[in-house]
């Protein structure tokens, strides 16, 4: 994994998520604070297809957090962990803490990313107790580095608590086989947990091959996309990594099940007539989820609820 190229994708995602917040797709109290001073002075407008795609992945991961957190309020006095693997400049952890006061968030990424996001939050006056929030430099390609980062937290990590692990567009950038190691690492240690991953899929058709070329042109690669090249492959990754249950859906299915009121609202923000291309893009991304539920605390937890 080419470090500089992958770090640049974190900047790309930050710009896109900042754009959808400014355009009214989502509410995000922290996205501007995590932007550099240079970025905050710029106005970048992304195409409607990109905006809607980023809204879908953001809405889906937030929905997972809300569902997981609400179940934890019933079984663990509201206490649960969130581990954001390859957090980039995402605001997911801070957003979760604003809604679940007894959550504990751990964010992991390259040292340069963690240093920059920590400095920007400190400059903005955003302070969190280490009991509830810590970020650690970590090479997520290496599970021993993940283990050391979590083991080195100032506030000891309670593996017995329900834990939500998030990897948003991360696993495909890992070397072949590394994503299995990461999912297995958490699966072996957590008895009550959900691991949700957002990933590109279908690299072998015409659209997928172009997607691969576009990423390579940015100085990085979807080196690990072969570990889970399809919806079925994404589900199978959790199964072979020892998770008790696993589900996966392409983003067409996910989008269709997101809040109808929210979909109606955001579809009015930008006019979109490229419906065939929209569906094609969604067919090349998926969300997969592994569930460990040793004591039945999570019930019928699924990515999509009918």
Q: Are 102 and 131 in contact (CB under 8 A)?
A: no
183 Cα distance to chain centroid: 14
Q: Are 282 and 252 in contact (CB under 8 A)?
A: yes
The token duo for 18 is: 């900042």
pLDDT, residue 305, reads 55
- Mean pLDDT in consecutive groups of 10 residues from the start of the chain, 306 residues: 80 94 96 83 86 98 96 87 97 97 96 95 91 95 98 96 97 97 98 98 97 93 97 98 97 96 97 94 98 92 69
Q: Binding residue per annotation — 143?
A: no
Domain boundaries, the chain: 3-293
**52: Cβ–Cβ under 8 A, 6 or more apart, which residues?**
25, 266, 267, 270, 272, 278
Residues in the chain: 306
**213: Cβ–Cβ under 8 A, 6 or more apart, which residues?**
none
pTM of the entire structure? 0.95
Q: Binding residue per annotation — 71?
A: no
Q: Binding residue per annotation — 233?
A: no
Q: Binding residue per annotation — 151?
A: no
Alpha helices in the chain (DSSP H): 3-23, 37-40, 48-75, 92-99, 111-123, 143-151, 178-189, 206-217, 231-240, 251-257, 260-266, 275-282
Compute the distance between CA of residue 137 and CA of residue 114 in angstroms, rounded to an integer: 6
Give me the CATH topology for the region 3-293.
Answer: Rossmann fold (3.40.50)
pLDDT, residue 1, reads 45
Distances in Å between the Cα of 207 and the Cα atoms of 214, 226, 271, 283 are 11, 16, 23, 10
Torsion region of 78: left, alpha or beta (phi above 0 gives left; psi -120 to 50 gives alpha): left
Q: Binding residue per annotation — 139?
A: yes
């Amino acid at each position: 994994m080419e470090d500089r190229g992958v770090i640049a994708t974190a900047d790309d995602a930050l710009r896109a998520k900042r754009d959808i917040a400014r355009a009214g797709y989502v509410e995000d109290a922290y996205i501007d604070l995590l932007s550099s001073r240079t970025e905050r002075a710029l106005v970048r407008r992304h195409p409607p297809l990109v905006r809607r795609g980023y809204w879908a992945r953001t809405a889906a991961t937030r929905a997972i957090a809300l569902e997981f957190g609400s179940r934890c309020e019933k079984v663990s006095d509201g206490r649960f962990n969130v581990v954001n693997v390859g957090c980039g400049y995402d605001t997911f952890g801070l957003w979760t803490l604003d809604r679940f006061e007894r959550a504990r968030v751990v964010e992991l990424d390259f040292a340069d990313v963690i240093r920059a996001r920590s400095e920007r939050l400190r400059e903005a006056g955003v302070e969190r107790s280490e009991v509830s929030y810590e970020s650690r430099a970590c090479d997520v390609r290496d599970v021993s580095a993940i283990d050391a980062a979590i083991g080195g937290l100032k506030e000891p990590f309670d593996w017995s608590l329900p834990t939500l692990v998030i990897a948003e567009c991360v696993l495909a950038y890992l070397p072949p086989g590394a994503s299995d190691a990461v999912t297995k690492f958490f699966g072996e240690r957590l008895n009550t947990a959900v691991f949700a991953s957002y990933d590109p899929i279908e690299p072998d058709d015409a659209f997928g091959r172009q997607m691969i070329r576009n990423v390579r042109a940015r100085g990085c690669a979807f080196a690990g996309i072969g570990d889970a090249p399809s919806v079925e492959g994404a589900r199978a990754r959790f199964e072979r990594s020892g998770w008790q249950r696993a589900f996966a859906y392409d983003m067409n299915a996910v989008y269709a099940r997101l809040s109808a009121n929210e979909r109606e609202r955001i579809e009015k923000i930008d006019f979109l007539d490229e419906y065939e291309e929209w569906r094609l893009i969604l067919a090349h991304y998926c969300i997969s989820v592994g569930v460990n539920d040793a004591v039945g605390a999570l019930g019928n937890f699924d990515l999509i609820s009918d």
